[in-house]
Each structure stands twice: as structure tokens, then as C-alpha cells.
Structure 1
Amino acid sequence: MNTLSDSNVTEEQTAQAGELNERLVSALERAGRITTPEVAAAFRVTPRHLFVPDVALAEAYKDDYQPTDRDGEGRLLSSVSAPWLVAQMLEYLRPRPGDSVLEVGSGGFNAALLHRLVGEAGSVTSIDIDPAVTERARRCLQAAGLEDSVRVLTGDGAHGVPERAPYDRIEVTVQAAAIEQAWLDQLAPDGVLVVPLRVRGLGRLVALVPDGTGHYTGGGWLPCGFVAMRGEAASSTQVHALTPGARVRVDGAPPFDPEALTKALDSAGSAYWSGVEVGASEGTRPVIDLWFATVLDTYGTLLVDPQKSALRALPGGTPLTWNTDSSSAAYVTMRPVEGQTSRYEYGVVLHGEDHALAEALVASLREWNRDHRGRPGPVLHVYSEGTDPAAMAPGRALERPGAPMVLTWPKG
């Protein structure tokens, strides 16, 4: 297999790389991931193979992430993100010529795109906690002839890079557990902050802008997965094994009794149907997950291997709640609408005797359907540290270190 790290790369291979890149960019445009000519142009002049030099050309231009390092147990430590996600983040960020940009998390490819977008009059600073990651990014940028165009630093990105602030744009390219106060402090008054944020265990891409009152608001909510931040800002999300083939992912949830919760899920389940029907192409699953992450005080994500468990959890994880002593648990499920091939009904499965638990989830599904379905999604409000809670918007306070955050669902 010839890769672009080989010394005998031919002109034919270089031309092939150009063709593959053009196909990739065109596909991203057709899919709506690239929507502006500026981002398209940046992709077209940035050869991705130079940032994943140890894979074959065809692999380098797949619309998928490329792992670059793993720990001894095979867990991903760093990667070059999938092109669709890189493009979507840049569309959220909208960097302009002359902007000063901070990238938290280094890979090289995204930094190169940022340089193309801000131009020689702008500046790009990239920081990562892992010296192996920053050294690799420098090598790749050098291969692309951009070693003098991007400043790459080794350090904890949770602190930003204050000596080069303020930044017109800050882009976080690792999964963040919180919005760090340092990022807000280093953002220009009219700046944009784009972050893949963990919201009660859910990975969502959000874009934040100043709201004119000294605070920040944002949304977007694209489901996404990134390598988690390390260092002081490491995630508090935990995954607990329960009954065989089932796990629960929690972040900031009240404690539960794993033995009691396992016993509950091992009992027979009873279905409660809501009457809320949706189309298969409506894309409600990520919205429903976020809705329950907002409205439930006790919330987790139930993850099930269908080969090992008979639980009727939804693929990819489903909202789960439980009562105080963990003797009952309820989770969201779906079933096909009779006689229709592309419509489904939301419902709830209860394990245990606490029927009020399931009834409350069904009522919540109906509330979402009545007040929020098809309307703009939630708004994330971010406040500076020390803000009086009474001055914050009503909604779900996301309890974690860093800047205070509140999630609200506006009506109408």
C-alpha cells in the first residue's frame, strides 16, 4: 500500500489525491455540510492526505475520522475528525479574513483550514495538552508548507492562551464537559465560540455568541462525538454496567443503587404508549434525548446490546430515569405505527411498580409534542462565574465546574 508518507509518491498519486478531494468536497456540499463558498474553497486547497499520511489515499479522503493515537487499552486519545464534522464546525464558526482564532485541540487539518479562511492578515493559534499530538500537528503543517502560518502550543487548553487574546473566534475540537471561563474571558465582544459539549452525557455541538448583556447564548445541537478533554477539564461522565448487555451513562445524576437498578431492569417491563407519532425522516431522536436531559431531574442514557439483552431501548441509547431507591426504572422506546412503514409512536417501558414514573414520562412526551415539536430547539445560556442565580434564565441548570449554564426550551 502506498501512502502519502512514502518518499516515492508519484505525480499520478498527487493528481489522484486532488480528484478524491474534489469528490469529497462536492459530496459535503450536496449533503449540506458545506454551505458557504469560503469553506468549500478552504477544503479544496487543503490536501487532507498530508494530515493523515499513514493511510492509503482513498482512506484519507473518506468522510470518516482517522484515529492517530490510542492508549494501552485501545481507547482513542487523538484523531483527525471526519470531514463532515470539520466542515459543520467551520460553518458554525464562520471565521472571517483577518480574524484571530484559537483552536483548543490540535490535529493540524482543521488549523490549516482555519488559516485558509482567515488569510495572512489573520492568525491561528492551536493548543493541545498532549505533546505527541502537537508534535504530530507541527509535522503535518510543515508537510503542507504551513509551519509558519499556525502557532502550535503544548498546554492545557482549558486555560486558553491569554497572551494572544482576545480572539474573534474560539473553536474547541475536543469534547468539553463545561464552558471554561477562560474561553469567555479571551473571546472578543462580538466573537463566536464553538464547542462540542457534553450535556448530561450527550455530545452536542453548540455555537455561542454574546447576547448583549455580558452573557452568552447559543444552540445548534448537532449530535457529535469527539475525543474527551484531558487535564483539569476532564469529563465527569461515567458508564456503569447493569444487567447483562445493558449499561447506563450518567453525568451529574443523583446516585443510584446498581444492584437495585439491575434487579428492576431484570423484571418484566410494561409498555405505556403516548400517542405521539413521528415520521422516520423527521429526525426527532436527538431532540427527544435533549428534551429529557432537560426536564428530568434523574436522567441517564440506557445503552443496550440487542444481541445480549431483551430490553426495548432505542439504538444508540435512550433516556432512562429511576425512582429514589432504584427499585423502578423507565425508559423511552418506539414502535411502528400499524399499517405504516415509515411512522413510529413514542412510548415508555416501565420495570418495577412505580407507575407514576412511567406516567410522568408519557406526559412529558406529550408536552414536547404540544409545545415544542417542529419549533426552534433549546437555548443554552452561559453566564460568567459569580453570576447571581436569580439573574439567570429559568430552566435546567447544568451543574458542573466552569461558567454557569442553563438550558431552556422557549415556547411559541
Structure 2
Amino acid sequence: MSTLSDPNVTDEQTAEAAELNEHLVSALKRAGRITTPEVGAAFRATPRHLFVPDIGLAEAYKDDYQPTDRDGDGQLLSSVSAPWLVAEMLNYLHPLPGHSVLEIGSGGYNAALLHHLVGDGGAVTSIDIDPVVTERARRCLKAAGLEDAVRILTADGAHGVPDAAPYDRIEVTVQAAAIEQTWLDQLASDGVLVVPLRVRGLGRLVALTPDGEGHWSGGGWLPCGFVAMRGEAASSTQVHTLTPGARVRVDGAQPLNLEALVRSLDTTGAPVWSGVEVDASERTRPVVDLWVATVLDAYGTLLVDPKQSVLRALPGGTPLTWNADFSAAAYVTMRPAEGKNGRYEYGVVVHGEDHALGEALVEGLREWDRDHRGRPGPVLHVYSQGTDPAAMAPGRRLERPGAPMVLTWPRA
């Protein structure tokens, strides 16, 4: 199988790559992922196959991520992100000609797009902790004729790159567990910081802007998955096996009695229905998951293989909670609304005798329906380290290292 990185590539293959790239750009525009002529032009000018040279052309231009390195256990260490997600991140970031941009997490492809967007009058610095990743990024950028257009550094991105600060834009392209104070310190006073953030174990894309001295705020909340950040800012998210076919994902700061939780879920579950009905086209699950993660003190994500487990968790994971002694557990589920095609009702499955646990979770679903459904999502407030908690916005304090974070849901 030949690729365009081969030395004797044909004109026909070059033309095929350009056609595949144009099809990709057109599909991203139809899907609402590419929303500006500038981003479309950057994609057209950036041959993706040069950044995934070990696969065929058709595969290189699929709208999917491409793994580039794994550890001995098969764990993904680096990848080139799916084009739809790259485009969405650029929408959040909105880089402009002349901007100075810091990319934390290298791969080459996104850095090349950034260069086309900021132009020769701008600057792109890309940093990664893994020398294998940075060397690969350099090779790919050279193949694209951009070896002098992007500065590639090998170091822990948690510290940023202070020598070129402040940056108009900072884009984190690895899953982060926290907002590092150094990123905030290196952001311009009118800058934008885009981060795929783990919020109580949920991967969400957020964009932050300065909002006064020592205060940044923003949102976005697009569900996303990235390779986890390594080094000092490594993620604390943990995944534990409960029973065959069932696991729980929790933030590392969340106390968990695994044995007691397993015993609770081993009891027969009883459904409690909320009366909250939604249409499938509303795509409410990501926002409901985030809402439940905000209102619950005890929170995890239940992940189930329906071929191995009788637990009625939702595909992709569902919010899970438990009481103080782990003698009862409850998780969110759904069922088709009777006689209403394409509509579903939210409910809760309760295991154990603490029925108040299930009722509280059901009431949380009703509160979302009553006060937040169809309205702007939450606001993430980030503060400089050392800020007095009394000066912070009310809401869910996200306990983790780095800059203090509070998640607040505005009311009408």
C-alpha cells in the first residue's frame, strides 16, 4: 500500500488526496463543524495524509481519529484527532491572523492548521512531554513544507512556554484534569484558552476568557475524548471493575468503597420514573450528565456492557450515585415514552433500601427540566490560586490541583 509520503508518489495519487480532502471539508461544512471560510481554507491547505503517513489515503481522510503510538499494554499515548473535533476546537479558539498561539500536546496536523490561520505574521509554538511525539511532529511538518513555520518543544506542557508569553490563544490538545495556573498567567488579557477538561470524570471541551483580575470564565461543553495528559498534570480519573461487564469511572478525589458498592449493585434494582420526557433529537444526555455531576456529592459514571450485565445503564455511561455507607446506589436510565415515537422518559434505578437516594436523584432530573432545559448551559469560573473562596461564584467547587474552579448553572 503506497502513501503520499513515498518518494515516487504519482500525480494521480496527489490528485486523489486533494479530492479526498475536498470531500472531507465539504462533509465537515455540511455537518456544521467548519463554520468559517478561514477554517475551510486552512483544512484545504493542509494535506492530512502527511500527518498520518503510515496508512492509506482513504483512511487518512476519514472523519475519525488515528492512533499514532501505544504503550506496551495497548494504551493510547498519542493520536491525530478526528477532523470534526479539530474543527470544533478551532471554532472555540478563533485564531486570527497575527496571533501568537501556544498548543499544548503535539501532533503536527493541528499546528499546521493553526499556522495557516495566523499566517506568517503570527507564531505557533507546540509543546509535548513525549520526545517520540515531538520528533514525529517535526517529520510530518517537514513533509508538509512547514518545518520552519512551527516551533516544536519537548517539555511538560503543564508549565506552558513562558519565553513567548503572553499568547493570544492557548489550545490544549490533551485531556486535562485541571486548569494550570501557568496557562492563565501566560494568556493575554483578551486571550482565549481552550481545554478538553475532565469534569468529575466527564470529558468536555471548554473555552475560557479573562473576566476581571484573577478571574476567567466560559463554557461550551462539547463532549470529547482525548489522550490523557501526562506529567505533573496527569489526570486523576480512575476506572474500577464492579462486576463482569460493569465498571465505574470516578474522579480520583471521589471517596469510594468499591466492595460495598458492588454489594449494593448486586441487589435487585427498582426503577423510579421522573415524568421528564425528551425527544431523541434534543440530544439532552450530555447536558443532563453534566447537570447530575454538578448536583451530586457522590458521583461516578457507570459503564456497562449489555451483553454481560443486567444493569440498565445508558450507552456510553450513565450517572451513578450512592449513599454515605454505600448500602444503596442509584443510576440514571431511560425508557421509551408510551405511545410517543422518538420520545423517552428519564428515570432512576435504585439498588438497596435507601429509597430517598433514588427520589433525590429523580428530583434532580425534574429540577433540570424545570429550571435549565433548553437554556444556556453552565458557566465554568476559574480563579487565581490563593483566591478567597468567599469571593468565588456559588456552585459546585471542582476539587483538584491547579487553579480553583467552580461550576455554576445560571437561572432565568
- TM-score with structure 1 length normalisation? 0.99
Paired residues, number: 412
> 1:351 corresponds to which letter in structure 2?
H
2:391 corresponds in structure 1 to: 391
1:42-191 correspondence to structure 2 within 5 Å: 42-191=42-191
1:39 corresponds in structure 2 to: 39
> 2:177 corresponds to which letter in structure 1?
A
- Kept in 2, the 8 Å contact 1:253–1:298? The answer is no
Measure the CA separation in 2 of the matches of 1:345 and 1:259: 31
Q: Deviations over 1:140-183 (max 9, x none)?
A: 00000000000000000000000110000000000000000000
Please report how far the alpha carbon of residue 96 of structure 1 lies from its aligned counterpart in structure 2 after TM superposition.
Answer: 0.6
Unaligned runs of 5+ in 1: none
Measure the CA separation in 2 of the matches of 1:27 and 1:203: 25
Deviates more, 1:197-206 or 1:244-253: 244-253
Q: Secondary structure at the match of 1:281?
A: helix
Q: Secondary structure at the match of 2:281?
A: coil
1:280 corresponds in structure 2 to: 280
1:296 corresponds in structure 2 to: 296
Measure the CA separation in 1 of the matches of 2:349 and 2:403: 36
1:308-387 correspondence to structure 2 within 5 Å: 308-387=308-387
Q: Deviations over 1:74-123 (max 9, x none)?
A: 01000000000000000100001000000000000000000000000000
Q: Secondary structure at the match of 1:95?
A: coil
- Kept in 1, the 8 Å contact 2:236–2:253? The answer is no
Q: Deviations over 1:266-292 (max 9, x none)?
A: 111100000000000101000011001
Please report how far the alpha carbon of residue 399 of structure 1 lies from its aligned counterpart in structure 2 after TM superposition.
Answer: 0.4
Please report how far the alpha carbon of residue 5 of structure 1 lies from its aligned counterpart in structure 2 after TM superposition.
Answer: 2.5
Q: Deviations over 1:225-262 (max 9, x none)?
A: 00000000000000111122111000045422212211
Q: Secondary structure at the match of 1:374?
A: coil
Measure the CA separation in 2 of the matches of 1:46 and 1:244: 45
Measure the CA separation in 1 of the matches of 2:254 and 2:212: 35
Please report how far the alpha carbon of residue 214 of structure 1 lies from its aligned counterpart in structure 2 after TM superposition.
Answer: 3.5
Measure the CA separation in 1 of the matches of 2:327 and 2:338: 33
Please report how far the alpha carbon of residue 45 of structure 1 lies from its aligned counterpart in structure 2 after TM superposition.
Answer: 0.6
Q: Secondary structure at the match of 1:347?
A: strand
Please report how far the alpha carbon of residue 325 of structure 1 lies from its aligned counterpart in structure 2 after TM superposition.
Answer: 1.3
Q: Deviations over 1:352-411 (max 9, x none)?
A: 000010000011000000000000000000000000000000000000000000000000
Unaligned runs of 5+ in 2: none
Measure the CA separation in 2 of the matches of 1:386 and 1:348: 39
- Kept in 1, the 8 Å contact 2:5–2:143? The answer is no
Q: Secondary structure at the match of 2:338?
A: coil
Please report how far the alpha carbon of residue 334 of structure 1 lies from its aligned counterpart in structure 2 after TM superposition.
Answer: 0.2
Measure the CA separation in 2 of the matches of 1:254 and 1:164: 37
- Kept in 1, the 8 Å contact 2:274–2:365? The answer is yes
- Kept in 1, the 8 Å contact 2:209–2:218? The answer is yes
Please report how far the alpha carbon of residue 4 of structure 1 lies from its aligned counterpart in structure 2 after TM superposition.
Answer: 2.1
Percent of aligned positions with the same letter in both sequences?
82
1:17 aligned onto 2:21: no
Measure the CA separation in 1 of the matches of 2:348 and 2:253: 20
Measure the CA separation in 2 of the matches of 1:260 and 1:269: 16
Measure the CA separation in 1 of the matches of 2:169 and 2:410: 27
Please report how far the alpha carbon of residue 224 of structure 1 lies from its aligned counterpart in structure 2 after TM superposition.
Answer: 0.3
Measure the CA separation in 1 of the matches of 2:28 and 2:254: 41
- TM-score with structure 2 length normalisation? 0.99
- Kept in 1, the 8 Å contact 2:238–2:252? The answer is no
Measure the CA separation in 2 of the matches of 1:259 and 1:384: 38
Q: Deviations over 1:182-225 (max 9, x none)?
A: 00000000000000000000000000001134311110000000
> 1:26 corresponds to which letter in structure 2?
S
TM-align CA RMSD: 0.8
Measure the CA separation in 1 of the matches of 2:291 and 2:193: 23
